[in-house]
Structure 1
Amino acid sequence: MIDIEVWLYGPLSAYAPSGRGPGHARFHLQAPDATRMRDLLSILKIPPDEKGITFVNGQLTDMPGLHADDELELHAGDRVGIFHTNSMWPFQYRFGASISPALQRAMLEQEGGALRHAPASKRAQAGR
């Protein structure tokens, strides 16, 4: 078993084992070894279409509708933040969020290339 720290934001806080908090819920969850993000959603009974932006250990791992982190294996001590699809982009991450390789690929594969992410270093160079 692994211990995962989970943060659920907005309406997703209703899926916390101890019930809803004031806009968010934080709790620790014991999960089987080799638990993946899709398994975590199933354990918490969160419908996949309600999962929006997700972070694992501060790294952006998914955006609404991409399902880039469904197969991401979680490990003991991981911190997972899951926002509802109606939640806005967290302000503190707008300028330089680290993103997972799987999300980078999913963003590049989007039809029309509508999703973009510029690493913080490139934005800093452009602002000089």
Structure 2
Amino acid sequence: MSKQLEHQFSMLVREIRKEYVGNGPKEIFTRFVDSWAISEMKGNLTNVEKFMITSNDGRRMVHDARTKLVKKIYTNPEVVAKLEDLMKARIVRIFSDINIEEDIAMTVFVFDRSIESK
């Protein structure tokens, strides 16, 4: 059941990213550890962003825009409700970052109780 729920969580995160960013990650892998859902996403950048990161200013702009946008997405009560409904737990904290050079993003969702199946 845990692997199936991890897959459902990944697909929901991809759907949310696609809706709010314009494209979702090409690959997404989620693991549950205690009260954490850790999602690793590869292939996040658009062609325009890939062009922009060829300069230092572009790299900084893309990193700032991506991290701020993702954090803003998860302030939307409708988005949070979708994730909480799936997990039957409340989100208390979210951490997110992207490595521009490797095109890998990580988001850690911290819930109010353990979501890891025993």
Q: Name which structure has the greater RCO, CA cutoff 8 Å, separation 6+.
A: 2
Q: TM-score, normalised by structure 2?
A: 0.29
TM-score, structure 1 length as denominator? Answer: 0.27
If each structure's helix is expressed as a fraction of its own residues, which one has the higher value? 2
